[in-house]
Structures are given as structure tokens and as C-alpha cells.
Amino acid sequence: MSTHDPNCIFCKIVAGQIPSRKVYEDEDILAFHDIQPWAPVHFLLVPKRHIASMAQVGPDDAALMGRLMTLIPRLAAEQGCNPYPEGGFRIVCNTGVEGGQEVHHLHVHVMGGPRPWSRG
Ligand code: 5GP
Ligand code: ZN
């Protein structure tokens, strides 16, 4: 089931060809720290399979995306996001050029931790 785009930086991270600081991994999903964090906690969740963006997601991806999203509270807490409601976190999924997406392999940003943040 895994597709790999040899020109995709996140496929290379999934394959271990580019190193990353891993947060979580299972058969279908990888989470790793963003190389240029905006916040004290800033990691990315990606499907291991190359999906270019949220614009390509459909009904067949419901289980994968459901698992990816429902991992977020647990991983955010493990990585140091403070508890809701005083703490919390921000989820961002830039989609397409006008959506601000720079890496065209679907990823969800999770940002949190004490303010101020360097951006956002
Ligand atoms: P986008 O603008 O596509 O939503 O965000 C892409 C994110 O990927 C950026 O926050 C950027 O810092 C991060 N990023 C780009 N290249 C690498 C890399 O090689 N390693 C890691 N860990 N993060 C990266
Ligand atoms: Zn990819």
C-alpha cells in the first residue's frame, strides 16, 4: 500500500534517507519535529504513503485520517503542550500554493507550548 515519490522530501524522511527527530511512528503514520519550529512544541504528522495534500483526500482515507487526527491530543501532551483550556495547541494543514503549502506531501502541523511563540 505504500507509495514513495523519490523527489519528495517527506517521503525521504519516511524512508530514513533524510534524518528527522521522530515523535511517533506506526505502520501508516510518522510524526517528527519541524526543522524550523514556530512554537516550543512543533511537530508534523504525515501519512507514510505519499498523498500530495488534503486536496487529494477522499472517503478511502477516512480511517487513516481519523487515526492521524486522533493521535494529536496524546502526542501533543507527550511533547509538552499544556492541558486544555489554559494550554492547548494549534493544528494547521496548509493545502496548495494559495493555502501556503511548501512541502507537497500531506502533513498536519501541531504547535503548542507557552507563549510567546517565534511565529503565529
Ligand atoms: P508547509 O508550509 O508545507 O505547511 O510546511 C512545511 C514544513 O516542513 C515547514 O514548517 C518546514 O520547516 C518543514 N520542513 C521542511 N523541510 C524539512 C526537513 O527536511 N525536516 C523537517 N523536520 N522539517 C522540514
Ligand atoms: Zn511524499
Tell me the domain boundaries of the chain.
9-112
User: How much is the pLDDT for 67?
Assistant: 98
pTM for the whole structure: 0.97
User: How much is the pLDDT for 2?
Assistant: 61
Provide CB contacts within 8 A for 21, sequence distance 6+: 32, 33
The ligand 1 site (C-beta within 6 Å) comprises 9, 18, 20, 32-36, 94, 100-103
pLDDT < 50 regions, the chain: 1
CATH architecture designation of domain 9-112: 2-Layer Sandwich (3.30)
Locate the ligand 1 atom nearest the alpha carbon of residue 100 and give its number.
Answer: 2
Of residues 50, 104, 107, 109, which has the active-site annotation?
107
